[in-house]
Amino acid sequence: MEQLFTISGTTLIIRLPAELDHHSSEKIRLEADRLATGRNIRWMLFDFGQTVFMDSSGIGMLIGRYKMMRFLGGNVAAIRANEQIQRVLTLSGIDKVIDVYEGIPQQLNL
């Protein structure tokens, strides 16, 4: 099975599935929270590279993780979102609080 969660230093990279809905968001939420609270994670990177569908359940999951990471003194970013995903991010307004990068941000030195 492909690795969905990768930890590199203090960064947790989450490779999102092809379809991010209520069904798939639930599992990601549980695992992301477990990993982020159990270790010293400063950045949570959501990799949309393989994602072709997202609805408001995905947005809810992102907002929840954003709140948690801010509480822990860390941050959240989204990377490699295609046009469709970008539309949903923009429509929800979440792109105003979560940075969206084309690739892995350089300041993370990964």
Single residue of 64, 100, 101, 110 touching another protein by CB under 8 A: 64
Q: Rounded to whole angstroms, what are the CA distances from 37 to 5, 40, 99, 110?
A: 14, 7, 21, 21
Query: Is the alpha carbon torsion for 6, 31, 101, 19 positive or negative?
Result: positive
Provide the mask over 3-42, with x wherever binding to another protein is found by CB under 8 A and - wherever it is not: ----------------x-xxx-xx--x-------------
Give, as ranges, the residues between 87 and 106 that touch another protein (CB under 8 A): 87-88, 91-92
**Nearest Cα to 12, choosing from 52, 39, 50?**
39
Give the interface with another protein as residue ranges (CB under 8 A).
Answer: 19, 21-23, 25-26, 29, 53, 55-57, 59-61, 63-64, 84, 87-88, 91-92
